A and B are shown apart, each in its own frame.
Chain A
Amino acid sequence: MPTTSKYNKPATRRKLSLWEKLYLFEIVRGLLTTFKHLFRPKFTRQYPEERWDPPASFRGRPVLVLEENGVERCVACGLCSRVCPPLAIEVRASETELLKERYPVVFEINMLRCIFCGFCEEVFPEEAIVMSKDYELAFTDPSQGIYGKDRLLTPKAQLKDRLDFLAKMRN
């Protein structure tokens, strides 16, 4: 004989009062509830007109930080491409006369592969690659999904929110 414990008790049903059994009044109560909702403020966001502004912690499309002097921060160490779980990043390095000595000739992120994990951002100590707030990533052709340097470089001023957030979280 099965034992009755707290977890396999047979389902008990609450006794309904006569008022509830009549059902009709409960229906009216339900109808009034939905009627009230007709006049509530709506939750829908009218998307193309009203856009969502994500918080600083949002992980959108990864971008390269462009310093004020017009040079990218990236030194083409290849750590991001190494850590990237879906192998979405390709970096080809070359030398430069600048202080940082190295820079990426080619820096491509395949947005068809990117899983927005943010490892690339995390692995690099100087915040050369960070997650932006851009979430509108639709394209009509797979070849458009590969973002080169031209589309990845973003001025530092635009990424201030994220950089501040990262600085705060580092400590």
Chain B
Amino acid sequence: MIIEALIKIAVVLLVVLTAVSYTVLLERWVCAWVQDRIGPNRVGPLGLFQPLADTLKLLLKEDIQPLMAQAWFHWLAPVISITVAFTVLAVVPFGHTLAIGEHIIPLTIASNINIGVLFLVAMTSVGVYGITLAGWSSGSKYSLLGGLRSSAQMISYELTLGLGLLSVIMLSGTLDLNGIIDSQVNGLWNIVRAPIGFLLFLVSSFAETNRQPFDLPEAEPELVGGYHTEYSSMKFALFFLSEYANIITASAVMTVLFLGGWHVPFVDTLGLSPLVMTIVGVVAFTLKVVGFLFMFIWVRWSIPRFRYDQLMNLGWKVLLPLGIANIILTALEKMYLMH
């Protein structure tokens, strides 16, 4: 059981770390294409070894700690960020089950956790600490402003995130991520059953991952980079990594909650063998996640940044009432349409 879990952890960590560096490459490509440029294409065929070069470069940089920094917290902040970003993946189901002989392995690291959604929300909240600590411990005004902004923003949008999530929980009647997928397999995908919930969750995911148009914590023209201004070398890389890992996590979570996870409609009528079904499931999950990743990047290069007051207005005056209205709507839907 422990060995099984360890193998799963190793595989997931390896895959996700690689995926993170290639998300950065994808980001640079999409950015270039949107601006009618070519993008990185020099390192290796089609520029596919670019992430390797980037990592090597960051590893070789000097690690600078500012004189005014709180040494221990300055070191701790990126560690918290990266840990949280990867911990969330423990409860995400990557596929259905893998059967080796009599032995059935669920494709989730912590498969027997029955409050996956709760764990997920709790862990993403801890993510704020990494950024806030980084901002405070750097001993720089820009970093502090970035940290403050991010804590205000993340706390505001967590409400909307929760309300969007609530509609899914109401429809599925469970906090178990596998249970949520099962309810979508048996019925419709949640994106159809709760479109407003999906929208709320999507918008607040952008805010939670500090992505454009909500990337105020690291608004370059205003804050010289925000909470990670005073970071260099691999510590900076860890923030960078955790940002992209967060995007991947958010994509995976949205896939599970709203797009049926590994579920492909009508594929179970084909009568494929269980192994093929598992592979199809994992591939479908990956494709959905990549789709979301592309959307994250696409939105970043299309929509300008919000102003701080606009951000707060949107969060508290538009999305929050909408979220509460959505709860009532979902309740009505559950009462009259699903029975």
Contacts and interface: CB of A to CB of B under 8 A. Distances in A.
Interface size class for chain B?
10 to 19
A38 B302 CA distance: 12
B37 A33 contact: no
Contacts of B298: 31, 34-35
Contacts of B301: 34
A38 B294 CA distance: 12
A170 interface: no
B208 to A, nearest CB: 18
Contacts of A24: 199
A52 B95 CA distance: 52
B126 interface: no
A44 B37 contact: yes
B34 A31 contact: no
B38 A38 contact: no
B302 A42 contact: no
Contacts of A42: 33, 36-38
A18 B209 CA distance: 30
Which 6 pairs, one residue from A and one from B, show the smallest C-beta to C-beta distance? A34-B302, A44-B38, A38-B33, A34-B34, A30-B302, A44-B37
A15 interface: no
B180 interface: no
B273 interface: no
A37 B33 contact: yes
A48 to B, nearest CB: 10
Contacts of B46: none
Nearest to B314: A23
A99 B33 CA distance: 61
B234 to A, nearest CB: 31
Contacts of B269: none
A85 to B, nearest CB: 37
A43 interface: yes
Interface string A18-38: 000000100100110111011
Nearest to A27: B303
B186 interface: no
17 contacts: A24-B199, A30-B302, A31-B298, A31-B302, A33-B302, A34-B301, A34-B302, A37-B35, A37-B36, A38-B30, A42-B37, A42-B38, A43-B36, A43-B37, A44-B32, A44-B37, A44-B38
